[in-house]
Amino acid sequence: MNAEQFDEEWAVFRRSSVSFLIGLVFLGQLMAPAPTAASEPTLSADMGGHAIPAIQVGQYYCHDFDYPRIHCFPTDARLEQAVAAYGAGPLATPGSASVAYVRVFQDASFSGNSMYISADYPDLDSIGWNDKISSFYGLNNLAGAFYQNAYYTGLVYSFCCNTQVTYVGNVYNDMFSSVQHTP
């Protein structure tokens, strides 16, 4: 082919390639799973070494330092023992994969069932902590936020700087439905 023909063929080839690529991208979007489903690993939990449904986590004393596996204990003392065993682990090494940024409690004044939290929970219902939190304290000088509704929506309650909140107040009590670490 002469140069003119070649240019024409090349132009056609380029056009069809572009269409093909656009088609691929579109197909990729169609086939991609919903973003929320992809970013949420399957949670699992155990209590005293025995598997329990993740939704029961809110009934015990737990930490998520092995997220997405949550370890629970029957008493506060047993939880503290387990947490202490991590030494310079999730509680003391900000920047690692799972650093606790908050500890939540079912009742005021840091009492009742509790959980050390290092991961983001778009739906606290998934671990039995929906609409239950009455007090909390921040950890490792990290910042975070609680939300009225699941998926980080509704009223926002931000915290940082190892703040200790013995009672979240009548407006926010038993209201938080999601929690995440924030910059």
Binding site for Ca ion (CB under 5 A): 131, 175, 177
Residue type, 98: S
Of 99 and 124, CB closest to Ca ion: 124
Residue in the block written with tokens 């910059």? 183
Residue in the block written with tokens 């929320």? 36
Of 8 and 131, CB closest to Ca ion: 131
Q: What token pair was written down for 75? A: 């008493």
Residues β-bridged to residue 26: none
Of 135 and 177, CB closest to Ca ion: 177
The nearest distance, CB 101 to Ca ion, in angstroms, is: 20
Of 114 and 177, CB closest to Ca ion: 177
The nearest distance, CB 140 to Ca ion, in angstroms, is: 26
Residue type, 95: G
The nearest distance, CB 133 to Ca ion, in angstroms, is: 10
Give the span between the Cα atoms of 158 and 177, in whole angstroms: 14
- Those residues with Cβ within 8 angstroms of residue 31's Cβ, 6 or more apart along the chain or in another chain: none
Q: By Cβ distance, which residue is nearest to Ca ion? A: 177
The nearest distance, CB 131 to Ca ion, in angstroms, is: 5
Give the span between the Cα atoms of 1 and 83, in whole angstroms: 75
